[in-house]
Amino acid sequence: MPTIAFLFDNSDTEYGDFFEVYRAIIRDVLANDRKANFQLRGGGILFTRFSSRTTAVGSSKMGKYPTTSHTETDDKDLRAALAVRFAESAASKYHSIDANRLAMILMSVAVESITVSELPIRSARRVNKVIAEIFAGYLGCFEVDRGDRLMLTLAANGLIPFCTYDTGTLNWVVPFDHDPEDEAEVSWFDGLGLDEIKFITDTPEYLASEPQSEGGRISNKLLTSRARPKHAEEVLLALRAKLEAAKDGKEFSVKFGQEEFSNPRVDVRKIRDYCLNNQHPKGKHKAVLFAQQLGITAANWYYLAEQLAAGIEDKLVNRPEQTVWALQYEVKIPVTGPNGVTRLVTSGWKIEEGQSPFLTSAYIEDGARTDTPGILAPLLVLGLDGAAFFERLFETAHTYALRKSEEWTPTPMWIVGFDEPIPEGKIGSAWVVLQNGNSAFSRWLRANSLCSAFSKSRRVPARTKSQSVEKERRYCEAFGQVLRLNGIECKVEWRLD
C-alpha cells in the first residue's frame, strides 16, 4: 500500500485548516475501506535535517551554572540541491504536483506535509480533489518513495505523528507535555462515524523503509557527497564535546566561516624540510621512522603529504585545544608507503581565523601498526618506469577522477523567468596544469594527444560527461591528487562559460 504525502504552502494555510484535511482523509477511508490500518503524520519539510552545519561553539556561565552553546548555519547550496532532488523524487511516482515549480516553492516558502502511511491511489485521488477545492495553499500530493531515505525522512518519519487508524478506531497521539483529559476538547473528528476514539501517549513506530530504489540511489549519492559533516565541522563538534565534559564555565567561543571549511593545506617545507629531514635538530627522529617503516624520505615526500591531506576527512579529531592564535588538534591517519607497509601517522593541525586547516607536524608513534590501508593506497602506481608508469598513472588518475565527478551532485540554478531548475548548475571548464611543460610526463601526454600546450606549461582538460563546472572541478581535483601522490607537481584551474 503506498504512502501518500499532501503538501501545503504554509504561508497560505492556517493551523486549523489541517483538521479539515484529517477529516477528508478519515471520511474517505470510512466510506471506502473501513478496515484500513495506517498512521497519519504532519509537519514541515525541513531540509535543515541534512543541510545544517555547526559553525561555532562556545562556553560561559549562566549565573552559577556552566553552559555550552553552538551555532548552526544552513548550507544554502546544499539546500538547493536537496529541494531539486525532493521535487524529482516526488514526480517519479503518482503525483498531482507541478514538479517543475516544486523545487522553487520549497526554496522560497515553508511547506507543510500531511502524510498517510498507507492509502490506496484511488483514495488519494479522491482526497486530492476534495482538498484542492477547499484550500488555496494546497500544492498537491505524491507517493513517497520508501526506498529513498531522503524522502522517507523528510516526507514521513521526520514529521510529527498525530494519530493512527485501525479498522474504525482512531488513536489520537497526546503530546508528552499535554494532559490527556484536555484532548477531549479536540472536535475535528466529531460526526465522522468512527467506532471508537482513544487517546494514547505512545509514539507510533517509524514507517519501515523498503529496499533502495533507483531514486534512493540518486539521493544517497547526494547525501554521501554533500551532506556529511566536513572536517572543520568535525573539529568544532570535538571541541564542543570537550567543553561539555569540562563544564568549567570559562568564557570561550570559536567561529568558523567559509575559508575554515575549505580544503586542508600541507606545506612542502613542513613535510620535506622538517618531518622527513634526517638532519633537522628536532625532525630527524621522525624522519628515521618514516624511512625505516614506510620507505618515505624527503625525496618522495608527496606520498606522505597527499595521504595526510586526504585522510583527515574520515578520522576522529583528538585533543582539540584553543590557543591565542589558533585551534589546534590531532588526527591519526593510516598512511601507506611505497614499500606497501601501512602505519598510523599522528598528525598535528591548526585552524586560524579565516584560514583552512594547516598541517603542523606528523610522526609515527609506538604501536602504530594497522591493518587499515591509507585512503589513497589504491592510487599508488608502483613498480613501473617510463611509458608504462605514465600510462598506468594516467589511467588510474582518469578512472578515479571520473568516479569522483560522477559521485558529485552539483548546486542547481534557476534562470530568471523560468520555474524549472537547471540541475547541472553553472556551466564551465576545468583543467590540470603541469607547469613544467618539458617534463617526461608532459612530453608523454603531448605525444599521446592528452594535453594542450599553453606558454611553457601543459593543460590536461577534464574528461567528464557533463558541462557542469562543479563536476569538471571535482574531476580535475581528483586527477591532480593522483598525480601529486605519485610525484607529479600540478595545480587545478577553472573558469565559468
Q: Which of 312, 344, 377 is the last residue of a domain?
A: 377
pLDDT in tens, 2-49: 999 999 998 877 767 788 899 999 999 999 989 999 999 999 999 999
221: pLDDT strictly greater than 80 = yes
Which residue, 484, 58, 51, is CA-closest to 263? 484
Mean pLDDT of 146-159: 97
Q: Are residues 409 and 455 in the same domain?
A: yes
Q: Return phi, psi of residue 468, to 5°.
A: -65, 125
Which residue, 105, 180, 177, 131, is CA-closest to 18? 131
Distance between terminal CA atoms of the chain? 48
pLDDT in tens, 431-455: 999 999 999 999 999 999 999 988 8
SS3 category, 183: helix
Q: Which of 377, 406, 423 is the last residue of a domain?
A: 377
Beta bridge partners of 352: 326
Q: Are residues 265 and 330 in the same domain?
A: yes
416: pLDDT strictly greater than 60 = yes
What amino acid is encoded at 121 in this protein? I
Please give the tally of structural domains in the chain. 3
At 441 the pLDDT is 97
Mean pLDDT of 368-394: 92
> Rounded to whole angstroms, what are the CA distances from 484 to 50, 301, 394, 407, 496?
33, 10, 12, 22, 25
443 domain residue, yes or no = yes
Q: Are residues 137 and 205 in the same domain?
A: yes
Which residue, 450, 461, 456, is CA-closest to 438? 456
Lowest mean pLDDT among 140-144, 215-219, 265-269, 465-469: 265-269
SS3 category, 217: helix
> Rounded to whole angstroms, what are the CA distances from 470 to 217, 228, 397, 424, 434?
20, 18, 18, 8, 21
At 184 the pLDDT is 45
Which residue, 334, 359, 333, is CA-closest to 348? 359
Q: Are residues 327 and 398 in the same domain?
A: no
233 domain residue, yes or no = no
Q: Are residues 353 and 459 in the same domain?
A: no
Under the banding of pLDDT at 50, 70 and 90, the label for residue 182 is low
70 domain residue, yes or no = no
Which residue, 84, 102, 97, is CA-closest to 218? 84
56 domain residue, yes or no = no
Instruction: Give the Cα separation of 350 and 270 in Å (integer).
Output: 13
pLDDT in tens, 93-138: 999 999 889 999 999 999 999 999 999 999 999 999 999 998 888 9
Helix segments in 312-429, DSSP class H:
386-407
Q: Are residues 391 and 367 in the same domain?
A: no
Mean pLDDT over the full length of the chain: 91
Longest pairwise C-alpha distance within the chain: 89
Mean pLDDT of 222-245: 91
What amino acid is encoded at 230 in this protein? K
Give residue for cell 479498522: 167
413: pLDDT strictly greater than 50 = yes
Q: Are residues 268 and 325 in the same domain?
A: yes
Q: Are residues 43 and 172 in the same domain?
A: yes
Cα four-point dihedral sign 310, 311, 316, 320: negative
237: pLDDT strictly greater than 70 = yes
At 200 the pLDDT is 85
Range of the domain at 433: 386-496
pLDDT in tens, 292-342: 999 999 999 999 999 999 988 877 888 888 887 889 999 999 999 999 899
Q: Are residues 203 and 290 in the same domain?
A: no
Q: Return phi, psi of residue 205, to 5°.
A: -70, 155
At 223 the pLDDT is 96
User: Strand 111-116 and strand 3-9: pairing?
Assistant: antiparallel
How much of the chain exceeds pLDDT 70, in percent?
97
Instruction: Give the Cα separation of 294 and 298 in Å (integer).
Output: 12
489 domain residue, yes or no = yes
Q: Are residues 321 and 398 in the same domain?
A: no
64 domain residue, yes or no = no
Mean pLDDT of 361-377: 88
Under the banding of pLDDT at 50, 70 and 90, the label for residue 178 is low
Q: Return phi, psi of residue 395, to 5°.
A: -60, -45
Q: Are residues 198 and 317 in the same domain?
A: no
More confident position, 201 or 104 = 104
What amino acid is encoded at 161 in this protein? P
Q: Are residues 263 and 174 in the same domain?
A: no
Backbone angle region of 457, left / alpha / beta, with phi > 0 → left and psi within -120 to 50 → alpha? beta
Beta bridge partners of 468: 427
Question: 10 Å Cβ neighbour count for 382?
Answer: 11
36 domain residue, yes or no = yes
Give the distance from CA 34 to its chain's centroid.
42
Residues contacting 173, CB < 8 A, separation 6+:
161, 162, 163, 164, 200, 201, 202, 203, 204
Looking from the CA of 2 toward its CB, the CA atoms found within 13 Å total 18
Under the banding of pLDDT at 50, 70 and 90, the label for residue 65 is confident
366 domain residue, yes or no = yes
Q: Which of 344, 377, 410 is the last residue of a domain?
A: 377
